[in-house]
A and B are shown apart, each in its own frame.
Chain A
Amino acid sequence: MMKQSNCRKKKRMLLMRFFLTSILFFGGYVYSTAQNQKTQVTGVITSKSDNLSLPGVSVIDVSDSRNGVNADFDGRYTINVNSGTTTLRFTMIGYKPVEVKVNNRTAINVAMDLDISTLEEVVVVGYGTQKKRKVIGAIDQVNSQAFEGRPSVNATQALQGKAPSLIIQQNNSEPGAGLNINIRGISTLGNNTPLIVIDGIVGGDINALNPADIESVSVLKDAGSAAIYGSRANNGVVLITTKKGSKGKPLSVQFSSLVGYNNPFYFTKPVHGYENAMLRNEAAYNSGVDNAVFTSDQIAALKAKGDTEWFAEEIVKPALQLNQNVSVSGGSENSTYLVSLGYLDQESNFVGPKKGMQRYNFRINLTNEYGKFKLTSVLAYSKQKITDHSSSTGTLMVDAFRVPLYYTQKDEDGNYLTNDVLQQFNSLGILEQGGFRKYDNDDVFGALTAEYKLTSFLKLKGVFGGRLWNGSMYSRTKQVDFLPQGVYGADRDTNDESRKSLDLNTQFLVEFNKSFAGIHNVGAMIGVTNENHSDRGIGIYKKFTDPDLGTPTTETVIGDNSYNSNASSGKNSLNSLLGRVTYDYNDKYFAEFNFRYDGSSKFRKEIRWGFFPSATLGYALTKENFMEGYRDKVGNIKLKSSYGVLGNQNVPNFQYLTSYFTFQNAYGFNNSGVSGTGYNFANADLTWEKAATLNLGLEADFFKGALSFSFDYFNKVTRDILTKPRVPGVFGTSLPDFNNAEVQNRGWDLTATYRHKGKFLNQSLTINIGDSKNKVLRYSDGNENLTGVEELQVLTRVGLPFNSYVGLKRDGYFQNWEEIQGAAVPNGLNVQPGDNRYVDANKDGKIDDNDKFIFGNPFPRYTFGATYTADYKNFDVSIFIQGVGKRTMMIRGELVEPFHYNYGMTMYTHQLDYWTPQNPDARYPRLANNGTQSNTNNFRNGSDMYLYDGAYARLKNVQFGYSLPANAAEKLGMSRFRMYVSGQNLLTLSKVKFVDPELSEFNNSMGPSGANSGRAYPTQAYYGMGIDISF
């Protein structure tokens, strides 16, 4: 333990040294421009608005533009000028430039005034930027402050709750687990993941980013803003822009470190061991078994002995998480730079040899201007190393979850024990000795943008960028012997996988921007792009390798699932023509037209091109003269509307081709394997999904901008949705996606921000909330689709939301034998008092398929987030709450059914509310063994018993910080020093108490995720502390 931490310390020292070296290097570069001159001028620069000193202002001798300095942290500057008659130019981003004649003075103090026009926020839009006041699309922009101080391990997590209708759901709390990300709900029946664009390049990995590197995130929600991404914009677009240095700013160093613990906890608790023994007896007795499972002596002994540690708690422990970032940035008149390094170490909660994720991020963002030419280069490298156990987390969890509190996992001699519930292996043994999976991924992302100003209004832009990803997996399964029986990893697998992928992106754009007569502002952009992706991978799977080294031995065999790179390769390409025309009349009337014309390799030649246009109108109502009074007294109002068509091409490569593939060991003759041929039938007419989207929006602010408010309504109809057609079994094979469904998705979202600036106390509150509701309008040849999802079924039917839950409806319990006489029951079952009674919807005297009801659907509605920040003198606090207002959540397996299929052998405290004659209104039916008719009636007939109210509100993050006063920090050589404590997932309010309501039972394609049973990884409560330092 000691050794390990020393080792880490050493590593950190090395990192520090590297940084200091880089700082010196850049420092030298910046300061080398200072020169010795004759006359010295000094002074202090302050801000007019608050009379505080302004650090970092650039001061230039106009007579010699190479002669310039930057003001220090107190706004003090010293410059040597050639002559006493020259002029000094003071510039600072966000302030109006000031020019002052020296007139032989040696001390010149300057007060600078805020420049509203340059201060104005710039919003990143597709293939460009727009000033916020000119934005008329439905775009939410989240800025870097939203991510600060939160122990987010990736950018997706950091975005949760930060923008309305940007729905981020977890289906697993395990470190490194993916998150569902979705904009404005379900509008297609397949994958609903939005398009991610990083620094203008499609194809980057949002989770490889260092959240600290993010400057802003734009969420493009409507067709008006997203149509420029054409055939992939149907699910919305997330544009991420990374930080850059600022022009004319001296070198600054930011250091932040956040360290804390992820503490696992379960919402579920098993009952006491002896209690469980009694419950087993009760279930057996209720099942007509007359000999007890546990004798009263045994129960007394269990009670006297007390509970053993729950296996599920024994296999997880609090784990360290460290987030560290250093960045160096600055800029001169013509160039900016930012170099950053991030380190994340997220330990796994699982016991045993150290597991978890480490990520190193390195980034250089540079801009250089040479007259009319501007070059922006972004280069980011991310290395991700994950060490995992060799099993599957769901299995490890559920095995540990299902064991009653009278067994132990390990004896005093260190043997791992199996028992009557876990006959084969236990999770502790696998975690401690069962081997590992190691992932090592390198991700290089780069973008080079060259801009050339042809004239003052015409600009050429070329972008070349992409991502090179190389990932490998090396795994070993080691043999663990259990007592009295069971062996794990007897095959002694040693496996390797390696994959390389390349995404390339080329863009040529022409931009036009001109104001005519000062009131007609015209912008236009046209461009062509190609995006292509290719990947190849190999895999080697060996069995019976050497137990120590994993090397081949005499009995080693190479598995027939090993593959060469030709068997695992993919390619696709997209050629596009795109453009935008914007017009506004004096910032009052706005119009915008966007289009994209896409050709995709995923479709047959004749039908591979698609056109995706959008039109947007905006009206700044308060710019009208007659609204002047309102504007001055109340605030601004802007109305927006857009309509357009977006596309989706989320299908695998080559799906339009019927193909035949061969595989080994399909069958055997004379005891040797022979290969077989499989086939994939194709739909040659596969084409784009097309979504017609209407957006109506309103922006308003009050109290001079202190309260701002934005509301959008949308209505989207997606046609030609790609879904698997319903193919009868008689056809003999499944078919790939067809364009055969239509879904409407309607909803709204709202953001409100209130900022209050007081003398000492500053506060702000941002609330966002969104809702969407989808409805299937057409579904493959007018039919519907009913799919079983574990105990229940989901229905896709015209007129209903996608994947609505379907099942029997409970009508209390049969309370006595009289009620059972002649009652409608499923499949002629013999039920008993205390068993579920179901509603016989069609009153035909039996319970069957025709009695099924349609219940809610699992997609979250009224998703909300609220962020409150306040600072008082040197103290600051931030509180972030996030949640879902309405959701039907399916919970299943051992979490609902006692002794689930005899796989689980413990009950949980929430299940104690079961039917007995004394508890006739219980939540759950009476206890009965698996396989009995009662058990079949109660648990094998999917009913609303499995559905729960999934609404919740969660105190997601709380931060409390203290910053040293400026002068104190300065004494320590810093411009800013803040320390804080941060906590995550501290409190959850929900109706359902025994599971984490945030976990979704569905993934981003609405496929089952398995999070709604005992397979779920425990929820993490995080407690940590951090420092932010700027030099």
Chain B
Amino acid sequence: MKMKNILKQIKFIPIVLLLLVSCEDLDLVPENVFTDANYWSSVSKAQTFLNTAYSQMENSSRFFYNEALSDNAYNGRGDNQGAASIAAGIYDPSLGRLKSEWNERYGGIKTCNLIIENIDRVPNADPAVIARMKAEARFLRAFQHFQLTTWFGDIPLLKKDPSLQEAKTITRTPHAEVVEFILDELDAVMPLLPKNTQLAEAERGRITVGAAAALKARVLLYESRWEDVIETTEDFMAMTYGQYSLFPSYEGLFEAKNEYNSEDILSLQYVPIDRMWGEFFDMAPISAGARLNALAPTQELVDSYLMLNGKRINESGSGYNENNPYINRDPRLTGTVVYDQYNWKEADGSSHIISIKPGVSPGNPDEYVQGSSATSTGYYTRKYYDVQHLTSLNSGLNLMLFRYADILLMYAEAKNELGQMNSTVWDQTIKALRTRAGFTDAAALSFNSSLNQLALQEIIRNERRTEFGMEGLRIFDIRRWKIAEDVLNGYAHGAKFGSSSVDNGYLRVNLRTFDPDKHYLWPVPRDERLINTNLSQNPNW
């Protein structure tokens, strides 16, 4: 009887206890994040999403280290952005750079697609504002596809955000089709974008119709569609897409005080303190505050700069002196490369001499010492050194992706490829650039009508190389000109600091191999093909 009563009581105990305990709610909500249901509520929220897409466009590390993929520079310490491995031709589909280039660009495409697909959900927004933001996102999506197809050839083309299942089974779209998509998109968004002259000051750095036209010209250039290049660049030079001109000083072009100058078409935006890049910490002379040297210009780049008389150093009558090699040279050399006995200038007007040659000023940190932390080639970099840098050479200087000089050189190249180079075109392009660079000798400035198309091609290509030295464009030119097997095979060299028995005393810094049957296209990353077996591979990988 008593037992029964107790049992009766027991039955209720768990229920009572459950009531007591379960007062703690399991439906908790996070305090610091939005959900898909409540995110797209205002234009400013959409704008911050778009800002993310901008930030994914390119990074400073790739901007600089891409130069070391070419014959212009050498990545002598570590394997930054895979530059050492790729330049030397010693990589396979597992290389980290391949994966990061692929993944980060598709990450950028996703952000763009999410904006394009969701921005119309923003209530009570000005349709013009939304249309422009959408156009910016489409430009960025086209830009990302362009980078991908340039490296990898055929790539998955994403006109919309894929589901996981779609992403796992998607196939590669042929390169030509990707290019058509990019060009169509650029044509479609150009009417929706403002000209640089229409941009409010606070908007500087945003995508303009000029940026879209410049990208279009570059896409066409990489396809060797010369007529189309001419059409676009001529419109550009006719100021159809905005007001652009060469900045008067080549050196000043890369200085913080001249940001947003008339030559800048689109640049990666950096902000002192808040958003900075710091690659010069491993590029500048050590005595200028660098920690070490990981990226150094090669002798091959230095040799490409003309003499002030317009001749190549190995041409007869050039006046080139191998033992005093840096005088009477294209002033852009000094604006780009730091060589032995370079006069290094700082913001306060002070300067000091960079002594690199071994034995001249022993023990100074910039001196070339084999295997040391100083330069591996005997050269350092000046272009984009920011005299207003903060600690550890961190800089808020913008990095230009497209500048007006490129429009001129694209025009010159296309004209010559079609056999239409003449003194008018020359004066508009090469002469203008050389004059701006500081050439005064008429031999360097005037058009030489005796040169044939091939000779002119070499001049224009070399002009491109020196004008854009250390700006990360050279590798793309090498690839489209199909000259990699010539310039990326054998040793990359440094200054004449070695023993004369080997390569005339020019330092052998890196043995490179380039297989034209294979290396013109990067392989699709290994991990990507392991997940998606529908992805084919490029030839011979």
Contact = CB atoms under 8 A, between A and B. Distances in A.
Looking at B22, B27, B270, which has the most chain A CB atoms within 10 Å of its CB? B22
A758 interface: no
Interface string A778-796: 0000011010100000000
Contacts of A899: 371
B201 interface: yes
A783 B531 CA distance: 8
Given A528-B17, A665-B275, A675-B48, A573 B203 contact: no
A671 B365 contact: no
A731 B525 CA distance: 14
B217 interface: no
Contacts of A527: 14, 17
Interface residues of B, number: 110
B259 A671 contact: yes
Interface in A807-828: 826-828
B148 to A, nearest CB: 10
A543 to B, nearest CB: 8
A830 B51 contact: no
A454 B167 CA distance: 63
Interface stretch (A50-58, A69-77, A170-178, A655-663): A655-663
Interface string A405-427: 00000000000000011011000
A454 B6 contact: yes
Interface in B33-90: 33-36, 39, 45, 47-49, 51-52, 54-55, 76-78, 84-85, 88-90
Contacts of B23: 530
Nearest to A288: B508
B498 A291 contact: yes
Interface string A150-175: 00000000000000000000000000
A849 B291 contact: no
B370 A660 contact: no
A687 B94 CA distance: 33
Contact of B77 (A608, A901, A905): A901
B205 A659 contact: no
Interface stretch (A347-355, A485-493, A962-970): A485-493
Contacts of A678: 52
Contact of B162 (A290, A575, A666, A730): A730
Contact of A668 (B34, B49, B88, B205): B205
Contact of B21 (A508, A560, A673, A788): A508
Interface string B2-35: 0000100010011001101111111111111111
B499 interface: yes
Contacts of A660: 33-36, 39
A419 to B, nearest CB: 9
A668 B274 contact: yes
Contacts of A420: 369, 372-374
A849 B93 contact: yes
B131 interface: no
A530 B21 contact: yes
A653 B55 CA distance: 28
Given A510-B13, A671-B396, A728 B49 contact: no
Given A668-B270, A669-B206, A902-B77, A575 B6 contact: no
Interface in B177-223: 201-206
A573 to B, nearest CB: 5
A658 to B, nearest CB: 5
Given A660-B34, A673-B274, A731-B164, A601 B27 contact: yes
B48 A567 contact: no
Interface stretch (A205-213, A386-394, A715-723, A929-937): A929-937
B513 to A, nearest CB: 6
Interface in B435-459: none
A678 B50 CA distance: 10
A516 interface: no
A830 B531 contact: no
B278 interface: no
A666 B52 CA distance: 6
Interface in A466-520: 484-487, 490-491, 506-508, 510
Contacts of A666: 48, 51-52, 54-55, 275
Contacts of A629: none
A677 B48 contact: yes
B28 A828 contact: no
Given A486-B291, A601-B28, A577 B203 contact: no
Nearest to B205: A669
A668 B271 contact: yes
B203 A669 contact: yes
Interface string A879-919: 00000000000000000000101110100000000000000
The list of the 9 closest CB pairs from A to B, nearest first, reads A732-B110, A729-B103, A673-B274, A508-B17, A668-B271, A659-B33, A731-B167, A676-B52, A490-B391
13 contacts: A486-B291, A507-B21, A528-B20, A532-B24, A569-B31, A657-B33, A666-B54, A671-B269, A677-B45, A730-B167, A732-B167, A788-B96, A849-B526
Interface of B: 6, 10, 13-14, 17-18, 20-36, 39, 45, 47-49, 51-52, 54-55, 76-78, 84-85, 88-94, 96, 99, 102-103, 106-111, 113-114, 156, 158, 161-162, 164, 167-168, 170, 201-206, 259-260, 269-275, 286-287, 289, 291-292, 365, 369-374, 391-392, 396, 498-499, 501-502, 508, 510-511, 513, 515, 525-528, 530-532
